[in-house]
């Protein structure tokens, strides 16, 4: 949907499978990701959408983030891939991930964070390497959701919600 009058009226634009899982506003561009298709981008406030799939492998899309003018998409069982609007191909970014099953993907503007069945990982874009950040979590935790807020990171798991400062990764299970 798009509104041209401050939200008083809304017009349906397009979402082929009605399963939007991520929506990002990045400067003039809007990016959207659905469970099984996309990503798409719009540079006209959502009136028209361009398909960015290109050579992105098939698979369930689980997350999307934009960092340093690159678009990152996580695919369940296929890992994390990056591209840019100017690039014509997707590039695998999986060095340091023990297996290819990211469930969630977020950014703090400096790093990417991926949640997986075996914990949480931080991506260092200058080295293109993922490193584990869950050393102080005492149980094996499947990370289903990552939320970043005011220099804190929250991990949603079946055991509960873990919280840490972004500079320490000293995890506390919230009551």
Supply the pTM of this predicted model.
0.85
The pLDDT confidence band at residue 13, using thresholds 50, 70 and 90, is low
Chain segment 68-97, per-residue pLDDT in tens: 999 999 988 888 999 999 998 999 999 998
Which carries the bigger pLDDT value, residue 114 or residue 118?
114
CA gyration radius, the chain:
17
Given the structure tokens 């540079």, which residue do they identify?
43
Given the structure tokens 């017009």, which residue do they identify?
11
Chain segment 121-159, per-residue pLDDT in tens: 999 999 999 999 987 777 677 888 899 999 999 999 888
- Say which DSSP state 58 is in: P
């Amino acid at each position: 949907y798009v509104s041209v009058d401050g939200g008083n009226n809304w017009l349906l634009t397009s979402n082929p499978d009605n399963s939007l899982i991520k929506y990002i506003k990045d400067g003039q561009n809007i990016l959207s990701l659905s469970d099984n298709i996309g990503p798409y981008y719009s540079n006209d406030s959502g009136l028209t959408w361009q398909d960015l799939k290109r050579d992105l492998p098939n698979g369930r899309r689980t997350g999307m983030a934009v960092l340093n003018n690159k678009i990152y998409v996580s695919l369940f069982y296929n890992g994390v891939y990056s591209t840019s609007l100017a690039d014509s191909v997707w590039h695998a970014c999986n060095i340091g991930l023990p297996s290819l099953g990211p469930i969630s993907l977020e950014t703090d503007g400096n790093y990417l964070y991926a949640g997986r069945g075996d914990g949480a990982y931080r991506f260092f874009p200058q080295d293109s390497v993922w490193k584990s950040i869950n050393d102080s979590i005492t149980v094996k935790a499947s990370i289903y959701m990552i939320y970043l807020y005011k220099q804190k990171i929250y991990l949603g798991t079946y055991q509960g919600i873990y919280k840490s400062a972004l500079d320490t990764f000293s995890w506390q299970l919230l009551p």
